[in-house]
Amino acid sequence: MRQSVIVLLAIAAACGSDSSTNPSGGGNKSVDVFTLSTAFSPNFVQIAAGDTILFHIVPSNNGEGHDVTFDVKAGAPANIKVTLNGDIPRVFTTRGTFHYNCFVHPGMSGDVVVQ
């Protein structure tokens, strides 16, 4: 019993490390998306099912927060409400193309392709 707990902790620790430099194709990697003042960067990300996108949200030049709202709910992770500052992960488990917008800033959008 105790041994399995230790194994799980070890796996959790490995996943918690900065895995953004992992070679692609392994699945369960984490990709960073940053907010610029009124844009997502990068605004196009290709990942594998099971991968995570970590949204790094900082205020716009005008001090406004950003939201991440998916066009299509089916298969998409939960939206991110307007946030001023935060590093918020979202796991993509379903294959497809997921377009999202920040409705605070018209034209601020991105796409995630999950393969």
Q: In whole angstroms, how close is the CB of 112 to Cu ion at the nearest point?
A: 16
CB of 35 to Cu ion, least distance (A): 6
Q: Which is nearer to Cu ion, 29 or 105 (CB)?
A: 105
Amino acid at 102: C
What SS3 class is residue 29? coil
Q: Does 31 bind Cu ion (CB under 5 A)?
A: no
Assess 104 for contact with Cu ion (CB under 5 A): yes
Which residues within the stretch 74-103 sit at the binding site for Cu ion (CB under 5 A)?
Answer: 102
Within residues 47-66, the interface with Cu ion by CB under 5 A covers 66
Nearer to Cu ion, 50 or 64 (CB): 64
**Geometric angle at alpha carbon 60, from 64 and 89, rounded to 5°:** 90
For the chain, the helix, strand and coil percentages under 3-state DSSP, each to the nearest 5: 15, 40, 50
Nearer to Cu ion, 35 or 52 (CB): 35
Peptide bond into 77 cis (omega under 30): no
